Structures are given as C-alpha cells and as structure tokens.
C-alpha cells in the first residue's frame, strides 16, 4: 500500500469566523470574573459589551468538491504501512474504545482485514468507512509508541485532514452510520485542538444527520443485535458530547432531553458477546462489563443537564442587567444554594449507585482498563461536583450573605468546590504519565477548570478565607500549573491555558506582566519558534501534542495578530483586558 501522501491543497479565502457566545457554565467565562478582581480596568470599553468573541479572519480554508469521494481524493484513500496501521488500530481499541465504544470492534476488525486482503481494490468499501478509519488512526496516535523517524503528531494531523475531506464531501448529500461515527470521533478530536468553533458546528451537523437516519428512535427489533447496540451507543454518544460542549461553552444543548430518552440505554455487554445472531446479548456474570463505563457516563450527562438548567440557565442576558434584574439575581441566592444541595445529592446518589468495579479498588489487580475507567469516572464526578458548587463559590467570594443558615450552606458548598478542584489536580498529576487517564485535552480542561477555582480562592478577603477554613494553602495550584507547563511542551492548548493563567497570577501578585517571550518556566522551553514569530505562541495549526519544531500543516488559520494570545481558541479576544463587571449578574 502507498504510504502517507501530502495533505490536500488549500486555498486562501477571506471568510470570517462567526462570533461566539460563552455562557455562565463555561470556565472561560468564569475565569474572566477572576480577572475582574485581579486586573486593572480599562478606561474605555467597547460599547458592545456582550460576552461574545470578536470576529477573527481565517485566511486558510479547504477547497473541497462537494461531489468528491475517496476515488476522487486519492490522498484521502491511501493507507499507511500495514505494521503502522495495525499498531494504530490496536492503540485506539486499547485506550479510546474502552471509554467511547462507538464502533463494534469485531465487525470493524473484520472489515479492516478484508480491506487489506483486497490487494488495493477498495471499490466495495464505503467512502465514509475510510473517514472512520482515518479518525481511528488519528486517535490511536496519542497512545502510540512513535516509530523512530516519524512524527506522531504530524501524521495524526494528516489523518484528520483525510477524514475531513471525506466527511465534508458526503455530509450534505446523505447520511449513514459510519458518517456519524466519524463525526463523533472528529468532534472528540477537535476538542483538543484550537478549532473550538469547528467542533461546535460539526457537533450540530452530527446531531442533525443522526436524526435524519433515525438514531433518535429506538432501534427496530428487526435489526441485528450488533446494529441495535451500535445505533444506541452512537446516539447516546451524540447526547453526551452535546452536553459536554454545552457545559464547556455555556451554550444551550442541541438535543432536547425528552427526545433523547426515546432511545434505550446500551446494554452492559462487551463487544465480543454481541453477535449478529444474538437475540438478547448477555455479559458473563463473572466478568464486569467495560461498556458499563459508557452507560454511567450517559447517566452523568443527565445530571449535567440538570446542573445547566437550574444553575446556569442560558436564556438570560447577562450583558445588559437592569437594577431590577440585579435585585432579582440577589434574591436568587437562596435558590442557587438550594439547587446546589439538591443536585449534589443527586450526584452522590449516582456515584453510590455505579458498579463497584468503576469506583472501588479491588483486592486483587483487575488490569489497566478498569483502573483507567475508575480514574476517569472519579475525575468526571469531581468536575461535575465542582461545576454545581461553583455558583455558590462565586456568590460567597463576591457577596456578603446575611442569613446565618444560608451562609453556612454557602460555606459548605464552597468547600465542596475547593475540595473537588484540589483532588482533580492531584489525581491527574499523579496518573497521567502512567497512561491511566483519557486523552490529554480532557485533562487539560479539568485542570484549567480547577485552577480557575483556586485562583479565585486566592483573591478572597482574609475573613472569608478564615470562615472557609482555608487559611493554609496546599500545593494543588502549583501542581496544576506544573502539569500545564509540562503539557505545553507538546500541547498547543496547554500553552494557551498556561499563558492565560500566568497573566492572571502575575496581575494578582502585583508583578509586572511578563511579555510572551519572557516566560521563564522550564515548561516553555519547547515553545521557541522562528525569529519572526512570537516565541511564546505555538502556531494555531498544530495538533494537541505536536512539537513546535515540527513542520506546519494546513489544518487551521494563521495568526493575523501575534499580540492576540487567544486567537483561534474560541475564547474572547479581549479576555485579558476587558472590564467584565457590567456583565455580572450577581
């Protein structure tokens, strides 16, 4: 088979990215409130004070023929050497599939073997299946041991480009299950790049396409057991990432909860026990199911749904509060405290009800798969707990609560939020290098979210810290920053998070803000670029773990302004300087 070919040619355009909105559940919006306390306010703020992104030019865009197929786009159809392909597929199923079982492994491997046996004739293979294959290759690279002389990140990006070409050629014509599986994996991948707007938009296309082929309906009993389970897994995969992106960006979800629940949950049965001739697949009683992890993830997504609805409603207009609205928001404090307590009970009920193999350490080792699932499940539990108590934490940090009972509730809620932030950082710091977590970009977001809480804690007045019992600070914040520094050697997203947080820390401590090229931490040493580029800014067109010394690929737009630290991230371009106090609803 032919080796990797060059990525498709690109053309320049002057298309403009849409403005983006970040609501109250978004950590990006939360961190901006930290800066209201720690940074000097500008004398002049733009008249349009909505929490939205400034538009940014995207000089690069793909020129794709809407009628093209892999037969037309030869580069999208070529395969890597067999030994590398096998290794990437194994890496995907050993790491990613254990958390996100969006394909049926035996069926996929059977199709994969037939592809190689056809001697280069792939006329009988669906084009969209090749998009799925390329994304499995791309995901597999993160956990793959690199072959000497090959750049894992460079090749991973090439596979993403190939998958994009195929997906974009077919998405507006017809839908099928492989196309939605490919979109689902692409959205997961893009969460870790700087292409947040593309990730958000593609998730919407994915959901509409899934509805167009009936995934929102319970599968017919006439279909095979394999197809029934895969359809359910893919639909619920769409639901989970829809809620995840809504939580991260503070935007309304695309799938109404009532519509989602028409589909039964997947069975807690692993792939090897689901066959086409199965009537009701069954997991052996003595073997815990790896698929149970995904089922519990779905249930947790429902709790996230309640948190977003009750604590972070997206229907308000925080950019134009009237005096009456501010009074009403103040009156909502007891309601927020009450919701936090009730939702915490709902979250704890879920946690106490999950299968023991997903939360309890066994007496005898049960393998890295279950250990990874336990770690990831606990981190997700902590992240949701942090999110549901963060509103109370923010209220306590900014307001004086007169009612004694409400103040005690707020203090307990704050300490839950702080505890969740610290435990998140410590667990990720301890387990990531052991490869016992999920993909890097999820852990970057969790650490970024936790650091935002700990930085806010440092801005509190002394008497509030004393009331919380938080006079003595531990090393969690330092561990979190160290994790980001190390990750920034290989991750563009980590470098952006780190620069933003270091700016906040510098303003908070009263020191002069370092220029981007003056950051002295050892973790930044790998960010050096060419003489005519800002040395602190890795190019926006690199993959999450791409080294800055590797050649660039036409994956995203160039920097039009090197002073704009946040270009391409989907974050507000004026996040480090704007006066956000007018937006605060509390």
Give me the pLDDT at residue 85, please: 93
Note whether 260 and 123 are same-domain residues. yes
By CB atoms closer than 10 A (0-12, 13-18, 19+), residue 466 is: exposed
Note whether 152 and 236 are same-domain residues. yes
Give me the pLDDT at residue 315, please: 60
Q: Region 128-151: what's the mean pLDDT?
A: 81
pLDDT: is 515 or 255 the higher one? 255
Residue 371 belongs to a domain:
yes
Q: Region 244-259: what's the mean pLDDT?
A: 87
What pTM was computed for the model?
0.76
Report pLDDT digits (tens) over 411-433: 999 999 999 999 999 999 998 88
Is the pLDDT reported for residue 210 higher than 90?
A: yes
Residue 368 belongs to a domain:
yes
Note whether 225 and 353 are same-domain residues. no
pLDDT: is 546 or 87 the higher one? 87
Is the pLDDT reported for residue 581 higher than 50?
A: no
Confidence of residue 142 (pLDDT cuts 50, 70, 90): confident
- 293 Cβ contact list (under 8 Å, min separation 6): 98, 99, 358, 373, 376, 377
Note whether 351 and 297 are same-domain residues. no
In this structure, what DSSP letter does residue 147 have?
P
Q: How many CB atoms lie within 10 A of CB 517?
A: 12
Is the pLDDT reported for residue 38 higher than 90?
A: no
- 36 Cβ contact list (under 8 Å, min separation 6): 579, 580, 581, 584
Confidence of residue 145 (pLDDT cuts 50, 70, 90): confident
Q: How many CB atoms lie within 10 A of CB 398?
A: 15
Give a three-class secondary structure readout of 88-127. Answer: HHHHHHHHHCCCCCCCCHHHHHHHHHHHHHCCCCCCCCCH
Report pLDDT digits (tens) over 189-198: 988 776 778 9
With H, G, I as helix, E, B as strand and everything else as coil, classify residue 62.
strand
C-beta of residue 395 within 8 angstroms of C-beta of residue 333: yes
* 213-214-220-224 Cα dihedral, nearest 10 degrees: 40
| Mean pLDDT estimate for the chain | 76
C-beta of residue 483 within 8 angstroms of C-beta of residue 425: yes
Is the pLDDT reported for residue 474 higher than 90?
A: no
User: Among the ranges 165-179, 226-240, 248-262, 502-516, which has the highest mean pLDDT value?
Assistant: 226-240
Q: How many domains does the chain divide into?
A: 2
Last residue of a domain, one of 455, 477, 509: 509
Residue 271 belongs to a domain:
yes
Report pLDDT digits (tens) over 555-576: 333 323 323 333 333 344 444 4
Give me the pLDDT at residue 60, please: 35
Residue 236 belongs to a domain:
yes
Note whether 247 and 303 are same-domain residues. yes
> Distance between CA 441 and CA 546 in Å, rounded?
13
Is the pLDDT reported for residue 50 higher than 90?
A: no
C-beta of residue 21 within 8 angstroms of C-beta of residue 69: no
pLDDT: is 114 or 27 the higher one? 114
pLDDT: is 152 or 282 the higher one? 282
Give me the pLDDT at residue 19, please: 45
Report pLDDT digits (tens) over 383-413: 999 999 999 999 999 888 989 999 999 999 9
Note whether 219 and 360 are same-domain residues. no
Last residue of a domain, one of 488, 509, 530: 509
Instruction: Please count the CA atoms within 13 angstroms of the CA of 442 that sit on its side-chain side.
Output: 20
Give me the pLDDT at residue 196, please: 79
Is the pLDDT reported for residue 35 higher than 80?
A: no
Give me the pLDDT at residue 68, please: 43
Q: Region 212-220: what's the mean pLDDT?
A: 93
Note whether 306 and 210 are same-domain residues. yes
Give me the pLDDT at residue 32, please: 62
Give me the pLDDT at residue 250, please: 82
Is the pLDDT reported for residue 240 higher than 60?
A: yes
Residue 514 belongs to a domain:
no
pLDDT: is 17 or 37 the higher one? 37
Report pLDDT digits (tens) over 336-362: 999 999 999 999 999 999 999 999 888
Residue 330 belongs to a domain:
no
Give me the pLDDT at residue 559, please: 28
> Distance between CA 336 and CA 436 in Å, rounded?
35
* Per-position DSSP letters for 296-308, written without gaps between them: HHHHHHHHHHHHH
Is the pLDDT reported for residue 121 higher than 90?
A: no
Residue 138 belongs to a domain:
yes
Is the pLDDT reported for residue 503 higher than 70?
A: yes
H/E run at residue 359: none
Containing domain of residue 185, as a range?
20-33+68-279+287-313
Least confident of 63-72, 204-213, 362-371, 452-461: 63-72
Note whether 362 and 274 are same-domain residues. no
Is the pLDDT reported for residue 207 higher than 70?
A: yes
C-beta of residue 482 within 8 angstroms of C-beta of residue 429: yes
Q: Region 37-41: what's the mean pLDDT?
A: 53
Q: Region 473-498: what's the mean pLDDT?
A: 87
Note whether 307 and 350 are same-domain residues. no
* 386-387-389-390 Cα dihedral, nearest 10 degrees: 100
Give me the pLDDT at residue 562, please: 28
> Distance between CA 551 and CA 3 in Å, rounded?
18
Is the pLDDT reported for residue 175 higher than 60?
A: yes
Reading phi first (left if > 0) and then psi (alpha if -120 to 50, else beta), residue 492 is in alpha
Residue 54 belongs to a domain:
no
Crossing angle for the helix pair 127-140 and 177-190, to the nearest 10 degrees:
30
Note whether 359 and 291 are same-domain residues. no
Last residue of a domain, one of 450, 476, 509: 509
Note whether 203 and 123 are same-domain residues. yes
Is the pLDDT reported for residue 500 higher than 90?
A: no
Confidence of residue 235 (pLDDT cuts 50, 70, 90): very high
Nearest to 299 by CA among 260, 256, 342: 260
Largest separation between any pair of C-alpha atoms in the chain? 76
Note whether 416 and 301 are same-domain residues. no
Reading phi first (left if > 0) and then psi (alpha if -120 to 50, else beta), residue 10 is in beta
Give me the pLDDT at residue 576, please: 42
């Amino acid at each position: 088979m032919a080796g990797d070919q060059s990525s498709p040619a690109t053309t320049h355009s002057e298309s403009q990215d849409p403005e983006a909105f970040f609501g109250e559940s978004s950590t990006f919006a939360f961190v901006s409130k930290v800066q209201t306390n720690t940074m000097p306010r500008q004398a002049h703020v733009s008249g349009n004070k909505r929490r939205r992104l400034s538009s940014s030019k995207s000089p690069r865009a793909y020129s794709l023929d809407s009628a093209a197929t892999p037969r037309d786009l030869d580069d999208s159809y070529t395969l890597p050497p067999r030994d590398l392909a096998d290794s990437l597929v194994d890496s995907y199923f050993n790491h990613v599939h254990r958390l996100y079982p969006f394909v049926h492994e035996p069926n996929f491997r059977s199709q994969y073997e037939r592809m190689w046996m056809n001697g280069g004739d792939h006329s009988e293979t669906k084009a969209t299946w090749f998009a799925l294959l390329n994304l499995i290759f791309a995901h597999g690279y993160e956990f793959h041991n690199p072959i000497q002389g090959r750049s894992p990140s460079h090749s991973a990006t090439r596979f993403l480009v190939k998958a994009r070409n195929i997906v974009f050629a077919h998405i507006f014509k017809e839908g099928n299950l492989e196309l939605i599986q490919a979109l689902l994996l692409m959205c997961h991948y893009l969460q870790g790049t700087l292409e947040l707007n593309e990730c958000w938009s593609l998730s919407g296309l994915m959901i509409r396409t899934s509805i167009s082929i009936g995934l929102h309906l319970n599968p017919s009993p006439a279909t095979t057991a394999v197809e029934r389970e895969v359809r359910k897994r893919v639909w619920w995969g769409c639901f989970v990432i829809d809620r995840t992106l809504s939580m991260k960006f503070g935007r309304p979800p695309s799938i109404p909860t009532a519509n989602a629940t028409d589909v039964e949950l997947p069975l807690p049965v692993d792939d090897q026990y689901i066959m086409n001739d199965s009537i009701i697949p069954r997991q052996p009683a003595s073997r815990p199911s790896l698929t149970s992890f995904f089922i519990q993830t779905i249930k947790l997504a429902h709790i996230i749904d309640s948190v977003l609805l009750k604590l972070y409603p997206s229907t308000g207009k925080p950019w134009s509060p009237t005096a009456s609205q501010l009074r009403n928001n103040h009156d909502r404090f007891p309601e927020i405290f009450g919701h936090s307590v009730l939702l915490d009970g709902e979250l704890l009920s879920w946690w106490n009800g999950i299968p023991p193999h997903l939360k309890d350490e066994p007496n005898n080792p049960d393998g890295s798969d279950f250990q990874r699932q336990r770690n990831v499940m606990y981190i997700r539990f902590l992240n949701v707990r942090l999110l549901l108590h963060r509103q109370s934490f923010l209220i306590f940090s900014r307001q004086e609560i007169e009612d004694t009972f409400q103040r005690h509730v707020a203090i307990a809620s704050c300490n839950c939020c702080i505890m969740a932030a610290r435990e998140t950082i410590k667990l990720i710091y301890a387990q990531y290098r052991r490869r016992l977590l999920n993909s890097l970009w999820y852990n970057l977001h969790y650490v970024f979210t936790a650091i935002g809480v700990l930085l806010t804690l440092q801005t509190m007045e002394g008497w509030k810290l004393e009331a919380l019992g938080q006079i003595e600070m531990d090393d969690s914040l330092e561990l979190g920053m160290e994790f980001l520094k190390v990750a920034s050697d290989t991750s563009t997203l980590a470098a952006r998070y780190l620069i933003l947080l270091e700016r906040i820390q510098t303003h908070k401590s009263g020191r002069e803000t370092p220029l981007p090229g003056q950051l002295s931490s050892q973790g930044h040493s790998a960010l050096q670029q060419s003489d005519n580029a800002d040395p602190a800014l890795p190019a926006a067109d690199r993959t999450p773990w791409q080294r800055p010394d590797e050649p660039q690929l036409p994956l995203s737009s160039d920097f039009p302004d090197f002073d704009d630290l946040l270009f391409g991230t989907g974050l507000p371009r004026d996040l480090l300087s704007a006066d956000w106090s007018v937006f605060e609803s509390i």
